[in-house]
Amino acid sequence: MPAKFTKDMTFHQALQTSPEVARVLGRYHLGCIGCMGAMNETIEQGAIAHGLDVNDILRDLNAISPG
């Protein structure tokens, strides 16, 4: 797990860290697992595209317990 999720991290990078990431993103209705843009789209870009606050998403991602 990374030390911290950041707005510049791609969805692909985030999803590689923990299965819990997909659950967090799902709460925001972000279906990033099946999205072709997940490889290159940053968390911030996705949040903007979906009208979401990136800080809310990052707060929840960074609350994921390690291990």
Considering the segment(s) 11-62 as one domain, its CATH architecture is: Orthogonal Bundle (1.10)
The DSSP output letter for 10 is B
Q: What pTM value is reported for the model?
A: 0.86
* Predicted pLDDT at 2: 55
pLDDT tens digit sequence for 20-53 = 999 999 999 987 666 677 778 999 999 999 999 9
> Whats the size of the chain, residue-wise?
67
Count the Cβ atoms, other than its own, within 10 Å of residue 43. Answer: 24
Buried (b) or exposed (e) across 18-42, using 16+ Cβ within 10 A?
A: beebeebbeebebebeeeeebeebb
Decide: 6 and 22 in contact? Cβ < 8 Å. Answer: no
- More confidently predicted of 36 and 18: 18
Tell me which residue of 20, 40, 22, 42 sits closest to 30, measured CA to CA: 22
